[in-house]
Homo-oligomer: A and B are copies of this chain.
């Protein structure tokens, strides 16, 4: 097996800026690496790309498994490329891959026609690692895609753990993909997510399903009107769509464009990104502090015992936390 050549920092940066998809992909692999040297190089690359980033619209996409997120992204991506001549990058936040070993984008064949487009970049590899790590990696990958010139960045989430709110916190526009009917398929959805949606796409509105999907769309629109408005001043709406027939795809993209005009016009777009940067810093600090803590030998030895005492109700979470923190701070002070 031939080893890939080692790229220098400048080769990475230069490759990303001229939108070499192979190099972009390798840079994202660096971001996801657990090796310290890779991480350090990755951060330098992201830092150097920052002045060229942030010039896209970031669209988060969520929905329960089976809602047809991938096929919808594929149809939407092809529409945007074909109709507007814009480029599209697709990333995924999938903390579940850690457990299942699978990935929502792992199966490359799922976006085969979009992947064939020159103007598309699809990141098929799963983001492994802890939840906080995964979210951070996606944020960094997003910046690299933007520096490479992708004007539209789709971030897909599989809806596990806190991934919906994490994705909502890293995008400009949040799209919820649903199926018709408001029954069983809602079981897997987490509470609170629907209210975050800027747009609800009722998917698979084709064939015999059209009437049912239209009813669900109307119900969704009613529910949306009952929600508090987003800070952008945008009025969330619902669209029935089909990746097969193309129904609703233009309306869907139109909503994204309308939203961008509104939010860029009233300053909320910029304000939201500023707030997000503040939160990313806070999250990165929290994640790093947690890692320092959990990797401490004394903590690793004791944390499970304390946790089980807490779960069984034999001690309070507050006492357990204080004891652990005292152990940690004491040992750190002694350079242990």
- A residues whose Cβ falls under 8 Å from a Cβ of B: 43, 46-47, 50, 54, 136, 139-140, 143, 165, 182, 186-196, 219-220, 222-223, 225-230, 274, 277-278, 280-281, 283-290, 292-293, 306-307, 310-311, 313-322, 324-325, 329, 332-335
| Contact call B313/A50, Cβ cutoff below 8 A | yes
| Contact call B225/A222, Cβ cutoff below 8 A | no
Q: Give the chain B neighbours of A333 by CB distance below 8 A.
A: 332, 335
| Contact call A322/B43, Cβ cutoff below 8 A | yes
| Contact call B284/A317, Cβ cutoff below 8 A | yes
Q: Main SS of the interface on chain A?
A: helix
| Contact call B192/A46, Cβ cutoff below 8 A | no
Decide yes or no: A194 and B281 within 8 Å by CB, A290-B289, A293-B289, A319-B47 being known contacts.
Answer: no
Decide yes or no: A293 and B284 within 8 Å by CB, A50-B315, A318-B140 being known contacts.
Answer: no
Q: Which of A165, A222, A289, A325 has the most CB of B within 10 A?
A: A289
| Contact call B50/A316, Cβ cutoff below 8 A | yes
Q: Give the chain B neighbours of A292 by CB distance below 8 A.
A: 325, 329
A292 to chain B, nearest CB (A): 6
Decide yes or no: A281 and B293 within 8 Å by CB, A50-B313, A50-B316, A195-B194 being known contacts.
Answer: no
Q: Give the chain B neighbours of A223 by CB distance below 8 A.
A: 222-223, 226-227
| Contact call A229/B187, Cβ cutoff below 8 A | yes
A182 to chain B, nearest CB (A): 5
Q: Give the chain B neighbours of A47 by CB distance below 8 A.
A: 315-316, 319
